[in-house]
Structure 1
């Protein structure tokens, strides 16, 4: 058990550091007016993943709450609300990332081309709706979460070591499940559709390049590298989503809190927000060039010193 927690904290530390670095990088790019429309989503996604990882490694959040002398009930409600909102935002923003990248690389003759010129405008509307929907949708669920008392006397379902979920009415439970499942199925379906579309676009581009027999055309363009990166993230997200769904369903059917299963589930949930910034850092030439420049500056300063 302790080894699992150590691995989880190591994962959390790596995820937080990588996402913080990427968040400041995108913030600097956006403030410098050299931004791409996709950078606006990527910046938000890194912020969401920072909060996700911090709430996932609940030992950090528990220490923070204890230092501020917050009550157990508030700890449970705050942790539950923040983690659920961030998970919802993660899948929504990842879906938006795939959709807008598909629009970006779409051929000029396609029906998606007409959206290219208003991409930034649509992106702002989409992100505002995404944040508003997730913040409001999860808010009603915090009334059913509280500090764990005694399961032998109530019908509470223990969801963490210290928190439990009180039984909902039939209508509310079915409404929450329907909206959540519909949202996830729709977004995963959109991601798979846009991913297939981008694969087709890349395949056609590769075939045209081979037909032209031009070395310059065979070189991967920034758009192609960005598309390949997003495709990799889409595949990894869908895999982690289904693994987490299987673990969550198993825990719900057992109706029993198992610390080992819960720790494994947190590891799976934090896998995507941890891997995402590492993939983006290694594939974005702007980040690579910045790191090279920093290394060169460091070498010059060390040489002069």
Structure 2
């Protein structure tokens, strides 16, 4: 149990560091080299959401924190559990938005969504507003039903110090249906976007092979590279999400606090938040060059 917690602390710390570095260096490189694109804004938003998510889970991991701050325990439970649900929803929806933006970016003129290309940045900002409103409102029930842990029997323990009131079957079914519908819609759009990206990539590949033009190949290559990165992120997210659903279903049927199960579930949920910035950094040549330059400066200063 202790070793599992150490692994979880290490994973969360690496995730916070990786997302922080990606956010800082990406903002710097965008200002330095070019105007921000919709994909730049979206990946920065994703990194910010993951930083908040990992900070919350790192705080929750410190079990003694609630004992040291024994005032406002119920407020802390409501706030932390609410924010954890909101950021998790934003992680799903932002990844979905990133895949849709990439589809629009590489789509040919005949594609139905290609008309959004010219105003894609303004649509992206509006989409962020909608996603925040959706996730803040969809998880508002958590504020009502989350309480500090007590000895009452009608509670579902979600951590050592926080619990959820058991709801009647109608409310439970309604909330579960809405949650699964929302998540299923985003995952479905990710899969549909991935299919479109694969089709467009194959189309670009056939055209470049037919034309045998070096100029066209060099122009398309960065787009193909970015599209493959988004495809990798979406595929990895869907796998981790399905694994999380299976663990979540198992822990819900237990209806009691199982530290090992909950720790494993948190670890699985945080894998995507930890791995995604590493994938984004490794696929961005400007960021790699910037990191090399920073490393060279540090070496010179030493």
Q: So what's the TM-score if we normalise by structure 2?
A: 0.92
Residue 195 of structure 1: CA displacement? 0.4
Structure 2, unaligned stretches of length 5 or more?
none
Structure 1, unaligned stretches of length 5 or more?
none
2:134 aligned with 1:133, yes or no? yes
Work out whether residues 26 and 43 of structure 1, in 8 Å CA contact, stay in contact via their aligned partners in 2.
yes
Which residue pairs with 1:184 in the alignment?
A: 183
Matched residue of 1:107: which SS? coil
Question: How far apart in 2 are the matches of 1:18 and 1:70?
Answer: 33
2:88 aligned with 1:87, yes or no? yes
Work out whether residues 12 and 270 of structure 2, in 8 Å CA contact, stay in contact via their aligned partners in 1.
yes
Question: How far apart in 2 are the matches of 1:103 and 1:64?
Answer: 46
Once superposed, what is the RMSD of the aligned Cα atoms? 2.1
Matched residue of 2:166: which SS? coil
> Which is worse superposed, 107-116 or 229-238?
107-116
Which residue pairs with 1:283 in the alignment?
A: 283
Residue 49 of structure 1: CA displacement? 0.1
Residue 205 of structure 1: CA displacement? 1.4
Q: Please show how residues 116-195 of structure 1 align to structure 2 within 5 Å.
A: 116-150=117-151, 153-195=152-194
Work out whether residues 85 and 138 of structure 1, in 8 Å CA contact, stay in contact via their aligned partners in 2.
yes
Q: Please show how residues 57-76 of structure 1 align to structure 2 within 5 Å.
A: 57-59=58-60, 70-76=71-77
Go from structure 1 to structure 2 and tell me whether the alpha carbon gap of 1:186 and 1:94 turns closer, same or farther (over 3 Å shift).
same
Matched residue of 1:104: which SS? helix
Instruction: Output one character per residue of 1:109-129: Cα deviation in whole Å (capped at 9) or x when no partner.
Output: 322221100101211111101
Instruction: Output one character per residue of 1:4-57: Cα deviation in whole Å (capped at 9) or x when no partner.
Output: 001100000100001111122333356666211111111111110001112223
Which residue pairs with 2:253 in the alignment?
A: 253
Residue 68 of structure 1: CA displacement? 5.6
Question: How far apart in 2 are the matches of 1:164 and 1:137?
Answer: 19
Question: How far apart in 1 are the matches of 2:216 and 2:111?
Answer: 22
Q: Please show how residues 234-249 of structure 1 align to structure 2 within 5 Å.
A: 234-249=234-249
